[in-house]
Chain A
């Protein structure tokens, strides 16, 4: 059962201009997103820069004012911005940021950084709090003495692990991870991803994994949504998306990933060219007259795609 429902979420930014600085138009950063999130699953949100994936994450976190639509958490509408410290939603939905360095306060010790959500939402004695912090550090594979250090004393991967520790401090149900590993080196990235998976198993939490790296998303996610211009283009299980992509945009994105297969690189390149060509020729069919993505239609139980007629792409 899904515990979080996102219904027709919209975030529009006004563009002001003209003589009286009136609102002349809107940027449709998010234009009608529907998602439902179940326990213990990982949801991938993929798209190119500017497609609105980070905005989705922020809107769910309550960091972005929602223009329209609803976020329903355990049956309650939480989209109105009146959540206080005692709101369970704020406690149960946490975030991991892309840039670990700038998301950790340089003047605070690791202990205080990790304790911040605990102090906000729970009443623990100093001893209990310390015990919890040690547990958390242990989970992300950091030594005990890390507690008394400052963020600058850690490497990039370690900082990101501290970010993970802070996010899980209050045992949340959902973690929004906005490009958590895109600034990290390959081997460090592997480490952080492994920790994220371990933690998921231990606490049974869900991730909304925002990334542009389709390789990482495939490794991490059960369910993947592809975004384009503030709307979902295609959504489905990992197999649906990778084995049977329907929308031309998804096909193009998948074809563009460099593959480690040196023998067949010409084949791969030819395939990419072909998809790119198809994209250029048939682009109009896949979007309506205003260049807007169509509404998602169900293809199978899990697989949804935004096509005018389902038959168009179903070759």
Chain B
């Protein structure tokens, strides 16, 4: 790779799901890259393909029901073409994943220590004692009090925040250079969320890990991310450094989304509502700007026929030309 800091390079990735006899792309032509020591946030509403992107990178799709095309380059390997055996060597060892719901991601019948040790058994040749030491070390690292006791417990004995910490410990177990965190704090209380996010950030700074943080919470993005990609209907519509994105959002979708947050300091205002709904996979317009239907007051000429990413500022990319003359419906922002 031309850039030696680059960990993961995703080029023109498509993930299509089979519905009846056709494949419909839930992730449509996504190109992003992740660098060392970077938190890349992927934001969007439900159904925009952010989790599908994550599971595609991890290779978790059933090849009979999905069609994956494009490139996910990791250390000169295209993960898309990898067979299951090789992929298993990558999963956990090179890319760790933290799932949204730790209760369903953890095995209820296994002790915590065995669940963490699972990937150590698979990927390393540590002896049993060494492995146990490593498990305790990991539990310590993620801030669990009294690791030897927790190691012997089952998931149902722990609180939500503790379970999420265990998930993080599992993801960290083989010190992967890349971690994908899919809504890691959505199910948690704000105070616990703050703790978990701080923990992720600390671990990232310590180990130089690259993190792909998938979330729908723009507050979390503003606190955590270095770079942000906003997704809408399977496509990345805007990509920028975090400060640039929040101070100078360009794409109509990003601007609408930022406007619909109940702000802490603006009171009693009507919240901004985006017209219509996210189109379902089958009804997705495959041509033209996908956001056009939700901003009908913008003339059709403003949109591009085949929207591409434009670089509006250094490292700030926006899809389609409709951002240029975009205004909110009544009276602007």
Contact = CB atoms under 8 A, between A and B. Distances in A.
B217 interface: yes
Interface stretch (B30-38, B63-71, B272-280, B318-326): B272-280
Nearest to A51: B189
A258 B222 contact: yes
Nearest to B246: A262
A215 B46 contact: no
A49 B160 contact: yes
A284 interface: no
B19 interface: no
Interface string A236-274: 001000100000000011011111111101001100100
Nearest to A193: B271
B329 interface: no
Nearest to B222: A260
Given A215-B219, A257-B190, A257-B219, A187 B274 contact: yes
> Which residue among B45, B216, B218, B222 has the maximum number of chain A CB atoms within 10 Å of its CB?
B222
Contacts of A194: 270-271, 273
A252 B191 CA distance: 7
Contacts of B267: 218-219, 238
B147 to A, nearest CB: 20
A1 interface: no
B191 A259 contact: no
B273 A191 contact: yes
A190 interface: yes
B257 interface: yes
A190 B271 contact: yes
B260 interface: yes
A147 interface: no
Interface residues of A, number: 40
A173 interface: no
Contacts of B194: 255-256, 258, 272, 276
Q: Is the interface of A mostly helix, strand, loop or mixed?
A: helix
A158 to B, nearest CB: 9
A48 interface: yes
Given A186-B261, A193-B262, A212-B190, A265 B219 contact: no
A263 B223 contact: no
A49 B160 CA distance: 10
> Which residue among B193, B242, B277 has the maximum number of chain A CB atoms within 10 Å of its CB?
B277
B247 interface: yes
Nearest to A252: B191
Contacts of A262: 222, 242-243, 246-247
B220 interface: yes
A6 interface: no
B264 interface: yes
A260 B246 contact: yes
A259 B223 contact: yes
Given A193-B271, A257-B190, A262-B242, A187 B262 contact: no
Given A256-B191, A257-B190, A262-B222, A215 B262 contact: yes
Interface string A18-43: 00000000000000000000000000
A90 B49 CA distance: 44
A238 B266 CA distance: 12
Interface in A212-248: 212-216, 218-220, 238, 242
25 contacts: A48-B189, A48-B190, A49-B189, A185-B45, A186-B261, A187-B272, A187-B273, A193-B271, A197-B270, A215-B261, A220-B262, A252-B191, A255-B194, A257-B264, A258-B193, A258-B219, A258-B220, A258-B223, A260-B258, A260-B263, A262-B222, A263-B243, A269-B223, A272-B194, A276-B194
Given A252-B191, A262-B243, 15 more contacts: A49-B160, A49-B189, A186-B216, A187-B256, A193-B262, A215-B261, A218-B262, A219-B262, A219-B271, A256-B194, A260-B219, A261-B222, A261-B246, A262-B247, A263-B243
Interface of A: 48-49, 155, 157, 185-191, 193-194, 197, 212-216, 218-220, 238, 242, 252-253, 255-263, 265, 268-269, 272, 276
6 pairs of A and B residues whose beta carbons are closest in the complex: A258-B219, A219-B262, A190-B271, A190-B260, A185-B45, A256-B194
